[in-house]
Structure 1
Amino acid sequence: MDYKPAGFWIRFVATLIDGFIVAIVGLILSYIFQDPPGDIDNSTSANTFTFIYSVVFIIYLTASKYKGTPGKLIVGIQVLSIHHEKIGIGRSIGRFFATILSGIIFYIGFIMAGFTEDKKALHDMICGTRVVYRKK
């Protein structure tokens, strides 16, 4: 089965959608965990919960039957192995941490998806994954 690689911009839109979802959850958690209520400056626990939620959200959903986060589902793309198979939790964890590497130097690792032949970002190259359009 041949899959069409997803390029930089569609992946960017998926990331924006995911960021919006995480921000909404973060706002809700900030409101719930404010101590005392109304003290916006004291939201460390909410930030911690938001970070943990983000990590679990990305890692679990990428390794799940959905093969991607809600942003990827909405725009019609998915994360697969280089052999076009669903990735496991270990590879998903590695991919999550490799995305940090992709962003360290001016996001060059992400921008690479716009210039490589098979539309792979640095974290895809490191982890043996690819982001492709879903089959209809």
Structure 2
Amino acid sequence: MTTQKPVFGKKTSGAASRRTTRPAQSQALSAKAEAFLQRERETTGERAPSGGGLPLPSTGSSTAGGKPVWGRRVIARIVDELLVWGLLFLMFHDDIGRQLSVYIEAPMDSAQENAAGVALFGYALLWGCLESAYNIAMEASRLQATLGKMLVGAVVTDRDGGKPGLGGVIMRNTLGRFIANMVPFCAGYVMGLFRKDRRCIHDMMSGTMVRQRAPAALSAGYGEVFA
């Protein structure tokens, strides 16, 4: 009687090993699951694969950014400017009030008026620097949004909906913002209202967009539908 030598890594039993068959990915989904996936594609900008099944993300897309927005960013801009001005006023309210009073009450073209005007212009420059630093720090962080944008549910992204680079954020809030402010009648900002991607002049210079914030985590929703 011959004995079969054991082979390392293999079973010596003569019985055929069972093989498990993986379920096909192309199984039809329920109507509820299809409706859920369609809503998520519209929210996050995903595209469905040609063979059906789960949605595939678009190239370079991110769940952080949804559809482009314009009205929300206007509200966010007002909120952020008031926040920075409020902080500056709390720090220097005594001197700002005094310089403003001198500028209003002093004779026109007098030395007192000119000195007060220079001081107020210095505070305006300080406000601009503080606002730029605040915008860069917040938009380059993982939040991708200032406090005003967080309030209205908006984020700054790159053109594909992903996280913007530091260089783009700096360009957006320095040279880009300066040129947008220099265009007469706020046309550098208003132009975004007439564009499909809602990009203003500083967005085009920096390669950024402002989008609606999409849900960061969808695990709970998927669990309810595919349970």
Amino acid at match of 1:4: K
Amino acid at match of 1:57: Y
The normalised TM-score by structure 1 is: 0.84
5+ residue gaps, structure 1, are: none
Give, in whole Å, the separation in 2 of the partners of 1:15 and 1:98. 15
Report SS of the residue matched to 1:120.
Answer: coil
Report SS of the residue matched to 1:133.
Answer: strand
The normalised TM-score by structure 2 is: 0.52
Q: 1:27 to 1:5 in 2, by over 3 A?
A: same
State whether structure 2 residue 169 is matched by structure 1 residue 78.
Answer: no
Query: What do you get for the CA RMSD once the two structures are aligned?
Result: 2.2
Give, in whole Å, the separation in 1 of the partners of 2:163 and 2:127. 26
Q: Kindly state the Cα deviation for residue 73 of structure 1 after the two structures are TM-superposed.
A: 0.6
Q: 1:28 to 1:103 in 2, by over 3 A?
A: same
Q: 1:39 to 1:135 in 2, by over 3 A?
A: closer
Report SS of the residue matched to 1:4.
Answer: strand
Q: What is the match of residue 62 of structure 1?
A: 139
Q: What is the match of residue 12 of structure 1?
A: 74
5+ residue gaps, structure 2, are: 1-43, 46-65, 100-115, 216-227
Runs of 4+ in 1 over 4 A off after TM superposition: none
Equivalent residue pairs, number: 131
Which protein has the larger Cα radius of gyration, Structure 1 or Structure 2?
A: 2
Aligned equivalent of 1:99, options 177, 192, 210: 177
Instruction: Give the % identical residues.
Output: 25
User: Which structure's residues are more often helix, by fraction?
Assistant: 1
Higher relative contact order (CA 8 A, sep 6+): 1
The aligned runs of 1:1-136 (5 Å cut-off) are 1-2=44-45, 3-7=66-70, 9-31=71-93, 34=95, 40-41=98-99, 47=123, 49-96=126-173, 97-105=175-183, 106-136=185-215
Q: Kindly state the Cα deviation for residue 40 of structure 1 after the two structures are TM-superposed.
A: 2.1
**Equivalent pair of 1:60/1:89 in contact (CA under 8 Å):** no
